[in-house]
Amino acid sequence: MVDNSIIFRDELADGLMKILPAGSLVERASAPVEAKDKVRLFRPNVVLANYAMASIQLDGKRFFSMIAELVNGPVVSFGSVPSGREGALQSGAIDYVVKPAGGDINEDFFKTCVSRLQLAITRYSLLPFTKAAKANEEKPKIKPGSIMTRAGWQKASAAAATHKPQTNRGVTIVASPVAQSPVKPVVAPHFGGGKKIELIAIGSSTGGTEALSVVLRELKPNLPPIVIVQHIPPLFSRLLSERLDEECVIHVKEAADGDMVAPNTAYIAPGSKHMTIARAGAGMKLTCQPGPRVHSCCPSVDVLFDSIVENIGGPTVLGVILTGMGHDGAAGLLKMRRLGSPTLGQDEATCVVYGMPRAAYEMGAVAQQLPLTAIAPAIMRIAGGA
């Protein structure tokens, strides 16, 4: 539910929760950018949004249309005047609810909203283009930790090529655009040492949820385990993991305390818990526990990177630092590079915030900076997955 008034937003959310079926969840957003992020994470059945936001442009599209495409579901709008209905529908809403005069919302208004939301979900599920989208949801997928041969991957890729992309009102559904570097993709460097990469470690923060999506979607077997710290609150780390698991060929999961890491699997640190890694017999084991904030962050990238330096070593671990505010991860990445780790950093042109990659690059922790779209190919080449 999206509205810029905190008082009205809370009153409406509380009122809806009293009437909605048991087990329903209502997530709130105050602005289009926040709504876009939460829609991608929560994948709601329906979005209820203030008509005042209908004309706002986001990523080159009207807000309602963009949100409907991201969730592949309906948007129901509300506003103070009946005449707003036409504009709301033209902007991409599937229905429009009129607020009571004077803004004095009551139980009848809540009931009307709930009935319209339920009707919108039903109507939307019956539309032909949503049926077609649901029929095309499958993609090649491997089991967690399994090894896929090159021939197996080529066969799966060929099968995927016969599937049409999901569409909504004839518009292809894609992830939000990411800034592109004005330079051509850089060829991944060769690193010396001849050591086989047994672990990939990635740190990211502001803008990282989208950057991780761009990188992980392009990774293909056979790859070593991947451990990721993204600055993110609890619950959101699980939702992010689930979304990325749906998008990617490799398996993506929220890390759990005691996980033994497996090939072709990415582990995202749970919100409010530091993640560390250590050897355990012939494998490697994760520890995820609450702890004091490091660089004002929990989980912290430096905590993960430091555990790699102490417990795993250098030449066999590939370190990557992506977009983010501050300098978390820079010192740990430098320690890794000094031990012989190949290290990559996202370049300024494609970062949402060029903070963490800048700090790492300026202190000498990054062996080479790359545009975001060149990082996955570099990982594949260095880790031997290509």
Active site residues: 205, 231, 328
Query: Cα Rg for the chain, rounded, in angstroms?
Result: 23
Instruction: Let me know: does 274 contact 300? Beta carbons within 8 Å.
Output: yes
The continuous run of DSSP H or E covering 130 comes out as: helix 128-135
Instruction: Let me know: does 318 contact 335? Beta carbons within 8 Å.
Output: no
**Between the CA atoms of 119, 124, 125 and 130, what dihedral angle is there, to the nearest 10 degrees?**
-170
With b meaning 16 or more CB within 10 Å and e meaning fewer, what string describes 95-117? Answer: bbbbbeeeeebeeebbeebbebb
Say which residue the tokens 């993506």 belong to: 252
Joined together, the tokens standing for residue 128 give 């032909």
Query: What is the Cα–Cα distance from 287 to 278, expressed in whole angstroms?
Result: 8
User: Can you say whether the dihedral through the CA atoms of 311, 309, 218, 220 is positive or negative?
Assistant: negative
List C-alpha distances in Å: 204 to 167, 191, 327: 30, 23, 10
**Cβ-proximal residues to 139 (8 Å cutoff; 6+ apart), any chain:** 160, 163, 249
User: Can you say whether the dihedral through the CA atoms of 221, 371, 272, 281 is positive or negative?
Assistant: positive
Joined together, the tokens standing for residue 113 give 């909203």
Instruction: Let me know: does 344 contact 223? Beta carbons within 8 Å.
Output: no
DSSP category for residue 294: B
With b meaning 16 or more CB within 10 Å and e meaning fewer, what string describes 41-72? Answer: bbebbbbbbbbbbbeeebeeebbbbbbbbbbb
Encoded amino acid at 224, one letter: P
Query: What is the Cα–Cα distance from 71 to 92, expressed in whole angstroms?
Result: 13
